Amino acid sequence: MLERMHGRLGDVLFTWFLVILGGAVLLIAALMAWELWSGGALAFHHFGFGGFIASSSWDAVKGQFGAWPFLLGTVITSALALTISFVPSLAAAIAIAEYTPPWLGEIIAYLVDLLAALPSVVYGLLGIFVLIPMLRNYIEQPFFTWAITKAPWLLTVLGPPTGIGMMSAVLVLSLMIIPYSSSLARDAIKLVPRSQREAMYALGATRWEVVRLVVLPYARGGIFAGVILALARAIGETMAVTMMIGNGHQLPFSVFGPAATMASVIANEFTEATGDLQMSSLLAIGFLLFLLSLLVNFIADYILRRMTAGEGRK
């Protein structure tokens, strides 16, 4: 009897403990949104919500601020990085879970996960000292000189071939997000029941057919969740991008030329913001970044639900 009571009391306490912790997370998220909104209210009021988003002028001297170049920069860099990283990260996941002997798979998995543990400033240094000179000397400049004679119309699309800019930032970003999509995909693939595979093999399927027709469709929910996690990471990445993207916000952006993202402009200008309007505009960008992340998560959740619903019907 006493034990029962004890157990029940423990249950109640534990429930409350969880409720309070869970509630605190919600509360903190709401507080953050509120703080960013109220901090950015001056800018939203001054330029109008739509006007602030759509304006591409960012000039602290003239007191004109608009989020458009940074919004665009964030969306382009993270979408490109996600696209580039998708195939390698999925390939790594499949290789580890299906193809390699366990000892080798473990080593590869460990190394891939290690990519997530590296501080982003290290990626930035790697970019500046290794990737940028390589890209400049072996890809950007040869391509640029080729374009001068063969396709002059390409030049404005390409931009100055200095190595620093959109392309380098996207490449480093895609390397940085590989572990996020890869490790979730790996776990999802490992969760595919043995019976499913064995059934396929029994029908005479090859290994590749098993992966393509059973494993990937079965694990798509987990794979997709990993992709979204990677996207969220790419949207918010600050340090490495700031070090490599060239921090220019003159539209239009070009492939090799400098660009800027929402996170990078906040990191750059927050400490020495001159005047209330610039400070408020930076917080307003923070609020938009919050909204963008929220939007991505909502869409992801929606798609994930539809996927799992489809699975239930099968």
Partner 1 sequence: MKKILIVLFGLFAFAAAQNVSLNGAGASFPYPLYAKYFSEYNKLTGVRVNYQSIGSGGGIRQLFAQTVHFGASDAPLSDDKIAEFEKKFGTKVIHVPTALGAVVPSYNIPGVSDTLKFSGQVIADIYLGKIKKWNDAAIAKLNPGVKLPPLPITVVHRSDGSGTSYIFTEYLSKVSPEWKEKVGKGKSVSWPVGLGGKGNEGVAGLVSQTPGAIGYTELIYAIKNNIKFGAVQNKAGKFVLASLESVKAAADLKDFPQDTRVSLTNTPAPEGYPIASFTWLLLYRDLDKDHAVKSAAEAKAVADLVWWVIHDGQQYNEKLLYAGLPEVAVKISEANLATLRYQGKPVR
| Selected binder of partner 1 within 7, 22, 48, 133 (CB under 8 A) | 133
User: DSSP readout, 221-252?
Assistant: HHHHHHHHHHHHHHHH--HHHHHHSB---PSS
Q: Report the chain's terminal Cα–Cα distance, integer Å.
A: 47
The answer to the question of residue 156 lying near partner 1 (CB under 8 A) is no
Q: How far apart are CA 184 and CA 195, in angstroms?
A: 22
Do 261 and 21 meet the contact criterion of CB atoms below 8 Å apart? no
Q: The dihedral of CA 12, 18, 20, 22: what is its sign?
A: negative
Closest to 175 in 3D by CA, of 275, 41, 72, 84: 84
The answer to the question of residue 62 lying near partner 1 (CB under 8 A) is yes
Shortest Å distance, C-beta 269 to partner 1? 5
Q: Which stretch binds partner 1 (CB under 8 A): 73-81, 129-137, 148-156, 169-177?
A: 129-137
Q: How far apart are CA 104 and CA 41, in angstroms?
A: 54
The answer to the question of residue 308 lying near partner 1 (CB under 8 A) is no
Number of residues that bind partner 1 (CB under 8 A): 33
| Selected binder of partner 1 within 40, 66, 163, 179 (CB under 8 A) | 163
Q: How far apart are CA 37 and CA 285, in angstroms?
A: 10
> Using omega within 30 degrees of 0 as the cis cutoff, is the peptide bond preceding 161 cis?
no
Residue with tokens 């595979």: 197
Binding mask 240-269 for partner 1 (x = CB under 8 A): --xx--xxxxx-------x-x---x--xxx
The answer to the question of residue 146 lying near partner 1 (CB under 8 A) is no
Nearer residue to partner 1 within complex by CB, 222 or 258:
258
The answer to the question of residue 129 lying near partner 1 (CB under 8 A) is yes
Shortest Å distance, C-beta 155 to partner 1? 12
The residues that touch partner 1, with contacts defined as CB under 8 A, are 57-62, 128-129, 132-133, 136, 160, 162-165, 242-243, 246-250, 258, 260, 264, 267-269, 271-274
